[in-house]
Amino acid sequence: MKGMQVGLLIGDEGDAIPHEVFNVADVVEETIAQHNLKYVACSFSMLMGIIYCVHLEYPQDMKCCFEVLQRVVMKIKPLPEYTD
């Protein structure tokens, strides 16, 4: 988690391709914000909600990926004051 600005920690059992996920955690600024979540999709949407609610900036090296996920997948438009 050291150096992890925003992300998901996924605990799984099995081989390289996990058959069963037993724990997913949301990480914000090197701190676990939520844990014991069972589904990756649910955990991801919770992470996006945390980022959106507390007005965090996306990590600079992943900004474009997060903006595509926000606009296309989650259908959340940016606030007018934050658009370029």
pLDDT in tens, 34-65: 999 999 889 998 998 898 888 888 888 888 99
74 belongs to a structural domain:
yes
In the chain, the number of structural domains is: 1
Q: What is the mean pLDDT of residues 67-83?
A: 78
pTM confidence score: 0.74
The answer as to whether 47 is a domain residue is yes
Q: Is 72 exposed, middle or buried (0-12, 13-18, 19+ CB in 10 A)?
A: exposed
Task: State residue 83's pLDDT score.
Answer: 54
Whether residue 76 lies inside any domain: the answer is: yes
| Within a domain: 35 | yes
1 within a domain of the structure (yes/no): no
pLDDT of residue 66: 87
Question: 16: domain range?
Answer: 6-82
| pLDDT score, position 81 | 63
Residue 48 lies in a domain: yes
